[in-house]
Amino acid sequence: MMAAPEPPEQVDGLLEKIADTALDDDYYVVRAGPHEQSRAFNTVLTGLVLAVFALLVAIAVIQTRSDRPATERERTTLINDIDSRKSTLAARESTADRLREQVADLQASVVGFDAAYEELRLLASDRGAAGPGLRVRTSPGQVLGSDITDRDLQTLVNGFWYAGAEAIAINGKRIGPLTSIRQAGGIIKVNYQSIGSPFEIVVLGDSEALEDRFAQTAVGRDWLERRKNAEVRFDMTRSDDLTVEAAPKDRLTIKHATAIEGDS
Amino acid sequence: MIPVIGLAVGIIAGLVFQPTVPTDLQPYLPIAIVAALDAVIGALRALGERRFNDRVFVVSFISNVVIAAFMVYLGDQLGVGSQLSTGVVVVLGIRIFANAAAIRRRIFHA
């Protein structure tokens, strides 16, 4: 309570002021008033106000009580909701983990296995190949004009390409897109590697069709002619189990040409 | 005697009729009760100090309830309803505690 001489404003703080003037000033004021007023507590007015107060409290209590089940229900619903979402989340997470593992596995298995890429590698003779085809053995004869030159081998290889060959190797040297067959100093070189007689040419493809179609080409007829007349040894055997190696890497490397942008 | 009867009548009326507060007024009920409690505790203290005046009690009760409810309403309109409610509760709480402490001192001399 404030001391009388102090002006009311000079209290230390708002909260202290509130605490100090907790009792309504009117209770003091009226006492000092000239007309004495009722100090009786036991009045109808007081009873009425207290009845209103009690009513307010009762209403609030009842309201809160009746609201509680709804709130409780809401709470339980929310908790159940959270639980179910959590379990959904856990399930999804485990699914995600499983799928991630699958992706990793598939990625691991896909490295080195792209079907189109592998086919292109096969076509570009970047891979060894196996399959049915023809094994051709040829060696020069003794008489004049029966030797086998680089040009003869070139036409022979071209003849087999024409006949439908899918992969060709001469003495184990695979014919790739950049392969050359040329003669230097009397020695035939394939992929810059020397080869000598007898030549063994492995041709992969449909062996029967290869043989038939080769025999019909000019090259084929020429070689069969030479075999008859010039004693050039030339025989073809069909086989179901032939293999050719990959062309050497340096004959598969493009150094100057680049792919045209956007041309696929 | 009459005040006690009034209290009892209020409680019984509430329990018997179980009036529902309109949804719009529901936020103001708790604050109104705190304000009313402040007036009641103040009246009790005044009673103990032999200063009680039923007119002051009625006026303080009504004005407390109305002003508290109005402040909460204003706060709701301004978007600071909960903060203003907290402020009202703090101020009224301090008054209630101060008055209760005064009653305690008077009764127990401590």
Give the tens place of pLDDT for each residue, B7-61: 899 899 888 888 888 888 888 888 889 999 999 998 888 888 888 888 888 888 9
- The kind and range of the H/E element at A161 are helix A150-163
Share of chain B above pLDDT 70, in %: 99
> Is B50 part of a structural domain of the chain?
yes
Q: How confident is the model at residue A9 (pLDDT cuts 50, 70, 90)?
A: low
Nearest to A56 among B8, B32, B94 (CB): B32
Q: Are B3 and A50 in contact (CB under 8 A)?
A: yes
Closest to B87 measured CA to CA, from B35, B23, B29, B36 = B35
Q: What does A219-249 look like in DSSP terms, one character per residue?
A: HHHHHHHHHHHS--EEEEEEEEEEEEPPPPG
Cα–Cα distance between A244 and A260 in angstroms, integer? 31
Is the pLDDT higher at A39 or at A258? A258
The residue among A17, A29, A49, A64 with the most chain B CBs within 10 A of its CB, best to mutate, is A49
Asked whether residue B4 is assigned to any structural domain, the reply reads: no
Tokens of B79: 């978007």
Give Cα separations from B24 to A52, A78, B28, B95 (angstroms): 20, 25, 9, 28
Closest CA to B39 of B21, B14, B62: B62
Tell me the per-residue pLDDT of A209-256, one tens digit each, with 9 for 90 and over.
988 998 888 888 888 888 888 778 888 899 898 999 888 887 788 888
Considering only CB atoms, A57 lies closest to which of B20, B21, B33, namely B33
Domain map (residue ranges) of chain A: 128-251
Strands of A12-166, DSSP E: 129-139
Q: Are strands A187-190 and A193-195 parallel, antiparallel or unpaired?
A: antiparallel
β-pairing, A199-204 vs A193-195, is unpaired
CATH of domain A128-251: 3.30.70.1880
ipTM of the shown complex: 0.86
**DSSP string of B40-76?**
HHHHHHHHHTT---HHHHHHHHHHHHHHHHHHHHHHH
- Give dist(CA A111, CA B33) in Å, integer: 76
Structure-token pair, residue A247: 């062309």
| Per-chain mean pLDDT for chain A | 83
In a domain, B7, yes or no: no
B residues 36-95 near A, CB within 8 Å?
A: 36-37, 39-40, 42-43, 45-47, 49-61, 91, 94-95
pTM value is 0.47
Cα separation, B7 vs A51, whole angstroms: 5
Percent residues over pLDDT 70 in chain A: 89
* Residues A106-118, mean pLDDT to the nearest whole number: 74
Q: A199 near A170, Cβ under 8 Å?
A: yes
The reply to whether B75 falls in a domain is yes
Angstrom distance (rounded) from CA A201 to CA A213: 17
- Domain containing B82 equals 27-108
* Number of domain units in chain B: 1
Instruction: Report H helices in chain A.
Output: 14-20, 25-32, 44-110, 115-123, 150-163, 207-216, 218-229
What confidence category does residue A7 fall into, taking pLDDT thresholds of 50, 70 and 90? low
Residue B47 within any structural domain of the chain: yes
User: Pick from B6, B60, B94: which is nearest to A24 by CB?
Assistant: B60
Question: What would the two tokens of residue A162 be?
Answer: 């024409």
Q: How many CB atoms lie within 10 A of CB A225?
A: 11
Tokens matching residue A128? 């060894």
Say if the Cβ atoms of B7 and A22 lie within 8 Å.
no
More confident residue, A186 or A9: A186
Which residue, among A125, A150, A167, has the nearest Cα to A252 in the 3D structure?
A125
Q: Judge whether residue A133 has pLDDT over 50.
A: yes
